[in-house]
Each structure stands twice: as structure tokens, then as C-alpha cells.
Structure 1
Amino acid sequence: MALVDLLLCTLALAGAVPVLVLTAQVLASLPALRPAPLGPRRPALAVLVPAHDEAGQIAGTVATLRAGLTPGDRLVVVADNCRDATAAAARAAGAEVVERHDPARRGKGYALDCGYRHLARTGLPETLVVVDADCSFSPAGLDRIARLSAALDGPVQAAYRLDPPPQASSGLRLATFATVLKQIGRPLGASRLGWPCGISGTGFAVPTRLLGTVGLANGHIAEDLKLGLDLALAGHPPRFCPQAEVTSALPAGAAARRAQQTRWEHGHLSLIPAYAGRLLGAALRRGDARLAAMALDLCVLPLVTLALAEAALTGLGLAWWALGGGTGPLLIAEASLALLVLAFGLAARRWGGGLLRWRDLAAVPRLVAGKAGILGRFALRRRSEWVRTERAGEGPSVG
């Protein structure tokens, strides 16, 4: 009995760690954002836009990005395994275009590698900024992130905001809030604690000389998060720039949203065992607490998934107590679950203003059921191949 008590207490304590990390990030994110000074120097840069079948919106993206360029900057669109007029539309809008055709190697990582190699052959600038083809990045935001990357001589991630469609359902509002917390609230709190942040895949800048220390060409479904972890292990943990914001639309269709969430969560979960230990080991060897912070942040599961895990630990502790075991596992799990509820309430007040309504909570059971399905598929048939997210107004994607 004592051994089982010890094992269950250890499990409950391990489950409490990500809750404590999340709570610390939420608390640090509560104060209002203040203006920050611009970096002293704007480097020469190239904006790289990986695009797969984006003919309908690539021209608008290129036009927005061109407005933020200065003489000597470059804008390169990688038309990756496209079956539509993406390349022609991007050229007509004024971008350099590289066409890549390799159906056997699919994924954004391969597209980024193709664009980087094109720049290396034709004149590598000091800084590379990556923006997805369905995103908007203001000239001021582009300028700020490039300056901060040059000042820090390291990778920098902008605040990535996914906006809900008009007349969004309660489920969409909750999903939007969870995304805002993950992409803006938590990174902001981490930054104020002196911690690095992950890379969100769009709206990030990195000195091009650092890209030679990591491998871009991969088909991982969370290539963005993987890139940030690889850069951290190479000695360059990414930093967060909340004053620069890149925006996109949350997929309106349920199938597209489910596919996007599945890709994000399966990719995240697959990277935890692959990188958490490596980051902690490197932190100890180098005496670099930033790497330990990245390991802890990596272990924070998405909000609903974390709540399910804590509820399961509480149920396990309750069952053990009912069978005559000790109360330690139950008390630890209950305290952790209560702290998670408190963190959710504080985050909702800070980051859900103007978005969440009390009646949106009625959609929580449906959201939990969908999340349970995603976790079940990870255990039984996890996604390992990149699939493009369907855009608003499109039919189901076959690419």
C-alpha cells in the first residue's frame, strides 16, 4: 500500500507541474501591455511565404507584406506542390517565386528549406521573416520584429492571433480564447518571467546565420514548434514580441477546425518525449535556466487536454482512497485541479474580454468530447503527415 501511495503521489505531483507553470504564465500576463522601444537598427531582410494551393488569397498577402519592405528587402513565395495558380498570382502581385514539386516530401519544413536554399544561392540577407500565406502582418509589426531580432541576435516570435468568423458559435469562441491564451497570453507571461517562447509557425524572425545550425527540411506536422526547440538546443532560444501581431482567421468549418487541432495536438504531444529530456539535460550541462523553462513550457498541454488529465488524476486518487489507500494522491490532484480552474478564470477575464460569454460555457462538454476524440486518435492512430488546413469558403481539401 505504501509503495502504491508513493507512486500515485509522484504521478499527481508530476501532473501538478504543468498546472503550476501555466498558472505562473497566466499571473505574469495579467498586467496591461506597455509600449516598448524599437530596436536601434533595422536589418536587411527577406520575407519567406510558404504557400500550398493559395491562389485565392496569395495576392492580398503579398500586397500587405510589400507595404512593409524597404529598399534591399526581398519577398519570396515558395509555391509548394501547388495544383493551382498560386505561383502566377504571387508573381503578378510582385513577389519572387520559387516553385517546388516533390510529392514524396510534403510539409512546410521542406518548403522553408527550399526558400532558404534559394536565398542562400541568390544572396542571403541578415534576417529571415516567415509568414504564412493566409496571414496579415502590418508594416509596423514587420519592422518591429526585424529590429528586435537584430538587437537580440536571435529568433523572435510575434503575437499570433486567430480571429473567429462573424457570428461565431460558443464552441468557436471557446476555441478562439484557448488559442489566444496559447499564442499570446502564455508567451507574454513567459517573457515577463524571463523565459523563452515557442515558435508558432508564422510571424517569426530569425538571423539567417542561425538557420545553418538546424535542419529545416522535415515533414513533422509541428515543424514550427520543432524549429524553436532545435534553435534553443543550438543555443538560441526564441523570444516573444507582443507588440508585433500577425493575424489569421480561425477555420469556420468543423472538419477543418478538427483537422487543424488534431495536427497541432498530435505534433505537440509527439515532441514532448523527444525534446523535454534533451532540453533539461542541456540546461543542466550548460547551466542555462532558459532551456529548463522551455522544457517545462513544452510539457504544458493545451487547456482542455490538461483539464482532462487533471480530472483523470483526481478520479484515480478518489478511486484509490475509496479502496482504502492514502489521501495524499487525491489531495494533490484536487489542489492541482482547483489551481487550474483558478488559472482558467483569471485567463478568461484577461484574455477572453469581448469574446467569451457565460452561455458559451454550455459548449464545454462538446469541446471536451472532441478533445477526447483527438487524444484517442493519438493513442491509436496518431497523425504523422502534414495536411493543409481548409480555408474559409473552400470545399474539403484533398492536398
Structure 2
Amino acid sequence: MVCSAPFRSCSAPSVRGTTAGDTSEANSFPRGCPAGAGHEEWQGTTLRLRPTSPAADHSSHAAETGDRMYISRQIIPFFPGGTRGHPRAGRIHRTRGSRTMSMLAASGVGAAALTISALALARNSGKSGEEVAAGDRRTPRSVSVVIPAHNEETTIAETIRSCRAQTHPLDQIIVVADNCSDRTTEIARGQGAVVIEGRGGSKASAQNLALPHITSDAVVALDADATLSPDAVELMMGTLRGGRAGTCTSARPKDTSTVYSQYRTLYHAIANGWVRPLQDRLGRQLVLSGMSNCHRTDVLREVGGFPDDNITEDFNLTWTLHRRAQPVGFTPKAFVYTQEPASLSEILSQMHRWTAGFAQTMVRHRTPLMDVASLIVVGTQVVDAALGGVAICSLPRYLARHGCPRGLLTWWSPLWAAVMLSSLGVAVRQLGWRTTAKCLPGWVAMQGLTGPLIAWWLFREWVLGRHLTTWTGRHGCRPAITPMPRGRKAVLAAGGLATAALLGVLRAAPGHDPSAAARRRRLPG
């Protein structure tokens, strides 16, 4: 190995440098020459490094860490100005800094893997309308709408009007007034809807109250604070006629007036234009969103209606259909316009419910084990969610280590940047550049806040075994989280003790030098 750094001439005053196991006078070197290199190795202004003995080689840890660490321990201390004087010091510190960057780089792996896999493994899980019509099931033609509502007097009239404006005729518009204490029932009847009053206790229970009253071939489930585009039902019925048992619309907030609606606008645009179409190519939609979905009535009754044994009925129903080999699909040109949360606590509560419901559904249905497509769809979501959240948490440490200006410029990875630019390109195509530019700051801010929280909620559900069972919203319930099971506590405690014991063994292993590692961490740069 050759170090091409210029030194003062070889006639410089010498100092005594010794290596382990060798204290002879032969180890006097010109000032600036590191211990372990003989006089005969000086060639002009080029220093050729070669340990003079196996002991010297061991003292420099070259046998353990290679020539790069040899430079770090032997050359750098002899350079005026420390590491800044050595031409390879920058390379050393860039290598060390990249350890933090690697987490952010990995956070784009999920999106890249989903894209590549969907293009490589694409399959059509539906049949043509003619094939279905020739089969043993009738092609769905009639449809009804079910709207579960809890104290929705401010929005229910607009929701019903959007249903009446549909280009496809509706058999019934049924509003399930679930434990309402306001004028929701009165307003819904005034709009001509069939009203069922009850105390379902959950969104799924409220929807199931309407099932016995439905005689249509298909049923649309619609949130009481959402509205449909005029052709939404017609387009979704077209998807069902193409062989799907269920489908859902694209989602878009009604306005972009708050940071929360701006965040959701970009979030939904990227999902509508990138993620959901790729999941459709794999035949595995992650979720037929409960904001607006449509199912064949006979299939819905076969699976027992809307499942009520999970905190999110839409995740649970979607994967119930997957397990029963019932094809589902996405209807991208149909839109539902949603009313977004107006406060931080409300949006975090909603996202907590969605994340917990996703985690509980994945365990209940063992979704990654169903097939390759399921593993890809679920795995890519988890990788990006978990690693992205951890990467955001690592940013303060990275900035403290490298300084704010330099850290902000070097924290990004090429893969993450490519995914980010691709996401913005999809958003511009969906929304236009003006709306995208308006929503971008809110999206970035909320991504930075919710990323670590999502990672924590997944950790609590899957690792700690603490499950969210109720949430603020319907009936004004407080969030309820189950305690950690005793068996899980014992397993985690045993795992912690085993990890501590392993670390102790590694630290006591021959050749381990904690002080040397600490000196390397303290190198300036």
C-alpha cells in the first residue's frame, strides 16, 4: 500500500517510534513518518508503508480491519492538523457517515421492489364480462348504497345528493343512523333516504344492519362525510362486471386548506397513480378503502358480511376475499371526495387506527405466507414504513455528527431521491403542478412526523403484542390498548438477556480493543 502524501524531506529531525514487541534503536524515523515503516521505504516524497513485524501488524489492527484502518490509526496522528492533513481522511469519514445514510437509502427499497415485481409478475386476476355472464353467477346490474353515519348532520345531505346524481340508477340509498344524538336521521329522511336507526357499536356492525334490507346485486359502502364523482358507481359496476368480487375508488380530499388535507392530497395522489395500479397488476390490493367500495352482494353474504372482529373492517374484508380466491380490483377513474381531519390529534388517531388494523389483519390472515404476490405487496409496505420511520429518527444524530448544512446535503441517498422525484412526478400528473407545489410542504412535514409514529405503532402491535381495540371517533370512545401478554414479556426478557450476554462475549473476545474503537470515533473531520 502506498501513501502519496507529501512530507518534509527525509533529513528532517527524527523521533523515536516503536511498535509492539520492538523497542530497538532501529525504529527511529524522520518526524512525520509513522511507526512501523523502515527508513529503507522512503522514496522521495512518497511513503511506502509496511509493518516491520507481525507484532506491528497486530498493533495496527491491519489483520482485523484492513489497510484503511491502518491508515486511520498510524498515519493520521502524525499529520499536522490531524485527519484534515491526510488525503484519504475524507474517504474514511465518508465511509463512516454512510452507515447512517444507509437507513434512508433502504426506505426506498419497498417502492422500487413493488414497481419491479409488478412489472415482472403482472397477472390479470379478473375475467371478462362475457365470461362471467356465461358462468354460474349473474352479471351484477342493480346496486344500492349503504351509508353508516354517526352524528353527521353537517355532511349527510351533501353525501346523499352525490348519490342521487349518479349516472347509474340506484335501487336504494340506506342511511344507518348509528347511535346518533343530532339531526342526522331527520336530515337523511328529508333527502329521501331509507333510514335504519340502531346501535351497531362499530362501522362494520352498522353496515351489517343494512344487509338484510338489500335486494340488489351489488352494494356500495360510503362514508357519511364523503361524496362520489357522478360516474363513480357506473365505473365500479363495470369493474364488477369484469369479474371482480369487490372494488374501490380513487380518493381525494375535498379541499387543500389545511396542512392535514394537503398531506392527504399528495398521499392519495401517489397511491392512486402509482401504488394501487401496481398492486392491481399483482392481483393483490392491500385494501379496498372503506371510504368508498363496492362488492357483490352474494359474495359479501358468503363471507358473513362486513367483518367486525378487527378495528378496520376494510383491511379485514379485503384479505378475507383474497384468502377465498375472490378477485378484487381498483377503479382508478372513479373518485370519492373525503372530509379530512381538522386537527393533529384527530388525524393521528385515524392513522393509528389504520396502522393497527393493518398490523392485526396481517397477523390474522398470515398474509405474507399466502403467495408471492401477497409477500411483495405487504413486505414492500412494511419495509418502507418501518425503515423510513427509523431513518427519520436518525436524522438528528446525523446532523449533530456532520453539522447542519453538510448533513442536510449528504443525508439523502440516490435511491431515496429517485423514489421522491418519481412520487412527485406521479402527483403532478394526478393533480397538476400548482396543487402539488401547494401541498408539498405539508406532505413533507407530516411525513416526518408520522413516519416514526407508524414504525412505533407497528412495533407495539407485532413485537410488544399490545393491540388497539377502540379509538376516538364513533361513540366518542377513548383509545383502548391491550396489555402485553405474559408470554410475550417472558420471550422479550429472555431475548434481551441473550443479546446482552452475546455482546459481553464479543467484547471479551481476543483482539477486541474498545479504547481503539473509541479513538476512531473521536477522529476529527
- Flag whether TM exceeds 0.5 (same fold): yes
Partner of 2:353: 263
Q: 1:134 to 1:256 in 2, by over 3 A?
A: same
Measured against aligned partners, the alpha-carbon deviations of 1:92-113 in whole angstroms (never above 9, x if no partner) come to 11111111124xxx22111121
Tell me, what secondary structure is at the counterpart of 1:152? coil
What's the counterpart of residue 151 of structure 1? 242
How many residues align? The count is 337
SS in 1 for 2:146: strand
Provide the identity percentage.
22
Please show how residues 85-104 of structure 1 align to structure 2 within 5 Å: 85-102=183-200
Where does residue 77 of structure 1 map in the other structure? 175
User: CA separation in 1, counterparts of 2:119 and 2:423?
Assistant: 8
- Measure, in 2, the Cα distance between the counterparts of 1:61 and 1:237: 29
Look up the match of 1:31: none
Query: Aligned pair 1:209/2:298, yes or no?
Result: yes
Q: Answer with 69-78 or 216-225: which moved more.
A: 69-78
Q: Are residues 363 and 95 of structure 1, via their aligned partners in 2, closer, same or farther at CA, if it must alter by over 3 Å? A: closer
Supply the distance in 2 between the matched residues of 1:221 and 1:345 (Cα, whole angstroms): 34
Distance in 1 (alpha carbons) for counterparts of 2:442 and 2:173: 45
The equivalent residue for 1:328 is: none
Provide the residue aligned with 2:61 in structure 1: none
Q: Distance in 1 between matches of 2:231 and 2:165?
A: 10
Alignment gaps of 5+ in structure 2: 1-63, 65-102, 121-128, 134-138, 399-411, 479-525
Larger relative contact order (Cα-Cα within 8 Å, sequence gap ≥ 6):
1
Q: Does structure 1 residue 18 correspond to structure 2 residue 110? A: yes
Question: Is 1:345 matched with 2:421?
Answer: yes
SS at match of 2:302: coil
How much has 1:309 moved relative to structure 2? 5.2
In the TM superposition, 1:143-222 aligns within 5 A as: 143-166=234-257, 168-169=258-259, 173-191=262-280, 193-197=281-285, 198-215=287-304, 216-222=306-312
1:184-226 Cα offsets, whole Å, 9 max, x none, are 53112333x3533220112211111101232324052221111
Alpha carbons 2:225, 2:338 under 8 Å: kept:
yes
Does residue 129 (structure 1) correspond to residue 209 (structure 2)? The answer is: no
Q: What is the CA-CA distance between 1:147 and the residue it aligns to?
A: 2.5
Work out the CA distance in 2 between the residues paired with 1:295 and 1:278.
7
Listed as ranges, the gaps of 5+ residues in structure 1 are: 2-10, 29-36, 284-291, 319-335, 391-396
- Three-state SS of the structure 1 residue aligned to 2:346 is helix
8 Å CA contact retained: 1:304, 1:368: no
Select the residue among 339, 342, 357 that pairs with 1:252.
342
Alignment of 1:364-375 (within 5 A): 364=444, 367-375=447-455
Q: Is the 8 A contact 1:307 1:340 kept in 2?
A: no
Match of 2:473 in 1: 388
Equivalent residue for 1:326?
A: none
Deviations 1:279-329 (A, max 9, x none): 633x4xxxxxxxx424422334379734425739999xx9xxxxxxxxxxx
Aligned partners of 2:220, 2:426: CA distance in 1, in Å? 29
Name the larger-Rg structure: 2
> How far off is 1:149 after superposition?
1.0
| Structure 1 length-normalised TM | 0.71
- Are 2:218 and 1:142 equivalent residues in the alignment? no
Letter in 2 for 1:137: L
Question: 2:146–2:210: 8 Å Cα contact kept in structure 1?
Answer: yes
SS of the residue 1:139 aligns to = coil
- In the aligned structure 1, how far is the partner of 2:344 from the partner of 2:442? 17
SS in 1 for 2:470: coil
Alpha-carbon RMSD across the aligned residues, in angstroms, is 4.0
- Secondary structure of 2:337's partner? strand
Partner Cα separation in structure 2 for residue 54 and residue 117 of structure 1 = 23
For residue 256 of structure 1, report the CA deviation from its aligned partner.
1.5
CA-to-aligned-CA distance 1:157-191 (integer Å, 9 cap, x gap): 1112234432x33x653443123323553112333
Instruction: State the 1:47 CA deviation.
Output: 0.8
Superposition deviation, residue 132 in structure 1: 0.9
Change (3 A) 1:359 1:125: closer
